[in-house]
């Protein structure tokens, strides 16, 4: 018999969240999934360019894993970039992703993205991880 505390599996994300909205600029399909490219404005990071490299779960055509990259350039020419790793699921024409993002400015975030393939738009909400 094993007993334990559920608090070992829970943590609280604190800090100010921020959101990004933008446009899907391209979709490239592959035998294993595909790549989605997008552009938006991310406040302090400036104009951002994003890529989701998605692979299909071999047992489902509506979910899988992904890796991605993001790069932002602000009005002063400062550049930051990030690596993204996560999972995705699709319902109709909407893809929802959940990722852990590691940014060159030292920030790490949990991110929830919604990609609307019908309207070629996306929204992302970032939740900072504790340092």
Q: Residue 8 — φ and ψ, nearest 5°?
A: -65, -25
Kindly indicate the confidence band of residue 9, based on its pLDDT and cuts at 50, 70 and 90.
low
**pLDDT tens-place string over residues 77-93:** 999 999 999 999 999 99
What is the sign, positive or negative, of the torsion defined by CA atoms of 74, 77, 78, 79?
A: positive
- Can you read off the two tokens belonging to residue 61? 């055509």
Kindly indicate the confidence band of residue 11, based on its pLDDT and cuts at 50, 70 and 90.
low
Kindly indicate the confidence band of residue 43, based on its pLDDT and cuts at 50, 70 and 90.
confident
Mean pLDDT, range 61-65, rounded to an integer: 96
Mean pLDDT, range 55-77, rounded to an integer: 97
């Amino acid at each position: 018999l094993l007993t334990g505390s559920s608090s070992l599996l829970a943590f609280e994300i604190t800090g100010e969240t921020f959101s990004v909205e933008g446009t899907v600029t391209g979709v490239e399909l592959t035998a294993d999934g595909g790549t989605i490219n997008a552009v938006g404005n991310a406040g302090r990071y400036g104009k951002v360019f994003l890529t989701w490299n998605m692979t299909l779960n071999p047992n489902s055509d509506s979910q899988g894993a992904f890796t991605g990259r993001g790069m932002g350039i602000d009005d002063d020419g400062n550049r930051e970039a990030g690596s993204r790793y996560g999972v995705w699921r699709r319902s109709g024409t909407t893809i929802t992703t959940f990722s852990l993002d590691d940014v060159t400015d030292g920030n790490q975030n949990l991110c929830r993205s919604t990609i609307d393939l019908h309207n070629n738009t996306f929204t992302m909400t970032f939740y900072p991880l504790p340092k």
